[in-house]
Amino acid sequence: MTTEAGAPVADNQNSQTAGAGGPVLVQDQHLLEKLAHFNRERIPERIVHARGAGAYGKFTVTADVTKYTRAKFLSEIGKETEVFLRFSTVAGNLGAADAVRDPRGFALKFYTEEGNYDLVGNNTPVFFIKDAIKFPDFIHTQKRDPYTGSQEPDNVFDFWGLSPESTHQVTWLFGDRGIPASYRHMDGFGSHTFQWTNEAGEVFWVKYHFKTDQGIKNLTAQEAEVLAGKDPDSHQRDLREAIERGEYPTWTAYVQIMPAAEAANYRFNPFDLTKVWPHEDYPMIEFGKLELNRNPRNIFAEVEQSIFSPHHFVPGIGPSPDKMLQGRLFAYGDAHRYRVGINADLLPVNEPKATKARSYGRDGVMYDGRHGGAKNYEPNSFGAPTETGRALWQPLPVSGTTEERPAPSHAEDDDFVQAGNLYRLMSEDEKARLIDNLANAIAGVSRDDIAQRAIENFRKADPDYGKRLEAAVQALRG
Ligand code: HEM
């Protein structure tokens, strides 16, 4: 055993004192170093998705998609790319229980030969809001109230009631899939619409789906309550132990593809994150297989310090004008610089594995000197890396003036139709559980006007949905 500086440690059990039983001496550098290091073991937890688990694996291409994207890692059937996937819950803090009603994060890093491509998605195909400017307010309602220090049903349903665009996602969340039995037994979605662009520069709008090959398995509210109490780490443990047993979880990857010219006149705004694209409009095209087969060796280094950003694109893949996605393109890099530091990209889990980063970013806290004496400016006359002159994705045509308004409307833009469709698609049993879950949550709201406004949104989705919910809430509130 040595000190951090490598000198032998004589005694790791007894502090050095002035005489037997006397006061402790400042000259005991080993003691000071040990206490000081311990005080600095934590970094800020993620502001959302703090609680999570990760694993490495591979992505294998199973279909030819080269007419849609020029991304090299998708260029050949059979091609394999190493990946790291971090699953998470959204609202809970780092030590929260896994078995709770909450969306699950599905953050997938492809270590491609053209740089890391991050798909930072969820297990839900839609989201609660459609403009990034509402995200901090929304998350404040999911986190702890400034006065009570707890999550408050008043805040949660006040915000949802006042944000009718949340009705679809809330219906999803309080349905059976709102509490997955494990990370292995749920799907993953890119959720947003992204751009794929092929070698000829043609643009396609795409949505990603990762369907679990383990089958969907969920917990009822009652089962989850028991499991969360008995084993707060249930999802994390399940993933690690399955991989240790050699039962590698897999997902089949699909993509929905919309030719760019169809976006303007599609029946609803195709960049609206509160909507799914019906499969009859854009069928699911299978294109890959995802397998997780290796556990991280050190959770802090590889999971806590991992960084995923929706702005980590590679040639042939880019953003859409989805206003949520646009906000996210800023938010994640900013979070990483605050949470992990300016050199977060140099950590083994975050750096490219199938290529080398050749940026001119230098120095800063914990810089490891990897660039040696290479020139740190560009352009230069020393043959150091230069720009390619080719954009990763195709430019978007824009027109009009700067403004703060909702996106231009399409014929079927509506906050309730898809929520109603989801409700009507459910079996009678599923509907009963949805009503029960929602009613129990709304019954915790202290103000009638807030509860009533929330219920009205569900009534607009489907009159039967609203009627049953209102009756169930009334029965619970007496
Ligand atoms: C994590 C912001 C919407 C999925 C985060 C983090 C921030 C953030 C700041 C923490 C990042 C870190 O510390 O490393 C936002 C903003 C959003 C938004 C501003 C809306 C404009 C979404 C949506 C999805 C999503 C729509 C899914 C479709 C995730 C996931 C993580 C995450 C999976 C965890 C990533 C990880 O495992 O490290 N988000 N988010 N977020 N977000 Fe979002």
The rounded Å distance from CA 273 to ligand 1 centre is 14
Tokens at 89, concatenated: 């819950």
**Ligand 1 centroid from CA 332, angstroms:** 7
Nearest atom within ligand 1 for CA of residue 106:
33
Q: Where residue 407 falls among pLDDT bands split at 50, 70, 90? A: confident
User: Could you identify the atom of ligand 1 that is nearest to the CA of residue 273?
Assistant: 26
Condensed to tens digits (0 to 9), the pLDDT of residues 136-147 reads 999 999 999 999
Element housing 246 (H / E)? none
CA 199, 204, 207: angle at the middle one, nearest 5? 125
Burial 417-432 (b: 16+ CB within 10 A, else e): bbbbebbeebeeeebe
Please give the distance, rounded to the nearest whole angstrom, from the Cα atom of residue 84 to the centre of ligand 1: 16
pLDDT in tens, 153-170: 999 999 999 999 999 999
CA nearest ligand 1 atom 17, residue: 328
295 is catalytic: no
CA 289/CA 7 separation, integer angstroms = 49
Find the helix or strand (DSSP H, E) in which 199 lies. none
pLDDT category at 409 given cuts 50, 70, 90 is: confident
Q: Whose CA is nearest to atom 10 of ligand 1?
A: 46
pLDDT tens-place string over residues 39-84:
999 999 999 999 999 999 999 999 999 999 999 999 999 999 999 9
The closest-lying atom of ligand 1 relative to the alpha carbon of residue 324 is 21
Which of the listed residues 43, 90, 120 should we mutate to test ligand 1's pocket, taking the one with most ligand atoms within 8 A of CB? 120
Q: Name the active-site residue from 30, 37, 39, 49.
A: 49
Q: What's the pLDDT band for 135 if we cut at 50, 70, 90? A: very high
Question: Within its chain, how far is the Cα of 251 from the centroid?
Answer: 17
- State in Å: Cα 87 to ligand 1 middle: 12
| pLDDT above 90: residue 245 | yes
Instruction: Say whether 440 is catalytic.
Output: no
User: 138 alpha carbon to ligand 1 midpoint, in Å?
Assistant: 13
Cα separation, 183 vs 216, whole angstroms: 10
Spatial separation of the C-alpha atoms in residues 234 and 241, rounded to whole Å? 10
Atom nearest to 338 CA in ligand 1:
13
Q: Which amino acid is at 415?
A: D
pLDDT for 217-238, tens place per residue?
Answer: 999 999 999 999 999 999 999 9
CA 399, distance to chain mean position in Å, is 32
Cα separation, 3 vs 29, whole angstroms: 9
Mean pLDDT score, 422-447:
98
Tokens representing 84 are 């790291």
What residue ranges line ligand 1, CB within 6 angstroms? 46-49, 52, 86, 88, 105, 107, 120-122, 127, 132, 135, 191, 306-308, 324, 327-328, 331-332, 335-336, 339
pLDDT at 90: 98
Element (H, E) at 174: helix 167-174
pLDDT band at 124 (very low <50, low <70, confident <90, very high): very high
Which residue has a Cα nearest atom 40 of ligand 1? Answer: 328
Q: Does the model's pTM come out above 0.90?
A: yes
Ligand 1 atom nearest residue 339's Cα:
13
Determine the average pLDDT of the residues in 351-379.
Answer: 97
Q: Whose CA is nearest to atom 33 of ligand 1?
A: 105
Mean pLDDT of 304-324: 98
CA of 54 to the centre of ligand 1 (A): 15
Report the mean per-residue pLDDT for the chain.
97
Q: Residues of 116-130 as b/e, b for ≥16 C-beta within 10 angstroms?
A: bbbbbbbbbbbbbbb
Name the active-site residue from 116, 122, 437, 457.
122
List of long-range contacts for 425-432, beta carbons under 8 Å, 24+ apart: 426/175, 430/175, 430/176, 431/465, 431/468
ipTM, interface predicted TM-score of the complex? 0.98
